[in-house]
Amino acid sequence: MLDIPSRVRVHVETLLAAQNDMGVCDAFEQYAPVGKPDAMNAPHPPKVAGIDSTVPAPAHTVAPSPAVPDPSPSGPSGPHAPRPPGALLQDRLAGWVSDLTTLNELTERLARTSGLDAALKELLRAGAALVGARRGLAVLEPDDGLGPDTTIGLGLARADLGHIETVPRSAMPYGTLLDTAAGLPGGDGEVVRPDLFAEDGLDPRHREVADRLGYAASYALPLSTETAGRLGAAVWFYDEPAEPAERQRHLAGLYLRFATEHLARLLDTERTRACMATVYEELLPSRLPRVPGVRLASRHRTGPRGGGDWYDALPLPDAALGLAVGAVTGAGPGAIAAMGRLRASLRAYAVMEGEDPVAVLSDLELLLRLTEPARSATALFAYCEPALRRITLAGAGHCPPLLLGEGRTEFVETSVSAPLGMLSCWEAPSVEFQVAAGETLLLYTDGLLHCTGDPVDRAFARLHTAAASVPRTLRHDPGAVADHVLHTVLPNGLDVTDGAEDVALLAACFE
């Protein structure tokens, strides 16, 4: 607190009238101590080196007011005793500091959120604390129409949100803010309904829902700024007739302006990720082929930045089947585009000379070196003959596939070779092996190993253990095998949303 001398003379009404027009320093200047100057109140030293040391009087001043008598030690005490001089100023300063501290803490918590849903939930919690409510909902509807549109509740179950959605949109505060100019930057900016049941024109359905959910008042603010536009609206509900005080409204307005800018940044990120994920999905097979003698299943996930992991399965002449997985270096749109070009090229080479996997990868390496010399890639291609249950494969710097069945779970021994684009000329011998009926060949990208967070040798051991633990009843179902491996190697399988790695997995079960 500020240590203000006991000689300060403050008139309460005058200070209240002046504080809106005066800064803190001006307030001290206007209400300076009266009486004999001391060391802190001595005349200013003379002008030195061309600098005038005197402080000019503020342009906005208030007429002097009568001094309030100093409290006497022998005077009255208790709640009606005269307040110490400067107490009001101290209280106001303490209130400002408290408000700034609160806003700083709340905005820091909001800034730590990295997703739209998490940010909206934090916004509702912080807003409820600021306006003194217990429940609320946030409606995200960007006015550019590009989405995503979502509704998040605080203290409201999914069924409660369903009841609220049955109320005509125009009767709800968020409808007023989203569908009229009131919610635009520069509009009215808020919808205050302090006593719903006392309103003459309250919509019957709104009255019914409010009575059912047990709220009697609401306060709504738009999520809009000049730069972000209108993104949505937030509404808080009171259990009893009430409305926030002016100070609460001011703090909530400041907080929501910051929150809207933060939501706008998250919205741009979310849209970019969704766009990249869509492109990634379109570049991968929309469905797997049906080839007699083999059943296929695939699983994949795109990392937040978008990467170059891919898989493919295509029917070939003479009832053969081509299986491929691979990954290109880098992340983002460039890596996704390179992955699409590489996969399309491999399909063409596989149709022409798929029975020789080494020739397929050699052609792919030459194309990559000539067209994208700054990029490298790993790849594995397998030529399968389901009728004979015979597989011929070659790999270029890629992880060895895993073969699992009733009697064995082992990695296929492939030759060690460099990735494509790393050497002036790539070539490595192929490997040929037989599979038994009911066995599954598991092809995967190195993202599966990286997601474990373990060193490479421990990650391979973890993958082998996961494959060996597949229940016997599931080993003839390639989809069940893929899911079991993923949920064993990765505790949350492909449900992890914050993983930095792409994951692609292709399982082929031979009958």
Q: Please state, in angstroms and as integers, the Cα–Cα distance from residue 254 to each residue in 107, 185, 221, 251, 467, following that order.
A: 10, 14, 11, 5, 54
Q: For the residues 163-192, what does the mean pLDDT come to?
A: 89
CA 8 to chain centre: 53
Given a contact cutoff of 8 angstroms between Cβ atoms, the answer to whether 166 and 212 are in contact is no
Statement: residue 50 has pLDDT above 50: no
**Domains assigned to the chain:** 113-275 (3.30.450.40), 285-510 (3.60.40.10)
Statement: residue 48 has pLDDT above 70: no
Q: Please state, in angstroms and as integers, the Cα–Cα distance from residue 290 to each residue in 88, 296, 314, 482, following that order.
A: 82, 8, 9, 18
Given a contact cutoff of 8 angstroms between Cβ atoms, the answer to whether 321 and 315 are in contact is yes
Statement: residue 14 has pLDDT above 70: no
Q: Which two tokens stand for residue 474?
A: 């599931």
| Mean pLDDT for all residues in the chain | 81
Greatest Cα pair distance in the chain: 111
The tens digit of pLDDT for each residue in 375-389 reads 889 999 999 999 999
- pLDDT at position 282: 80
The tens digit of pLDDT for each residue in 74-84 reads 445 555 566 67
Residue type, 253: G
Given a contact cutoff of 8 angstroms between Cβ atoms, the answer to whether 239 and 134 are in contact is yes
The tens digit of pLDDT for each residue in 102-133 reads 899 999 999 999 889 999 999 999 999 999 99
- pLDDT at position 183: 83
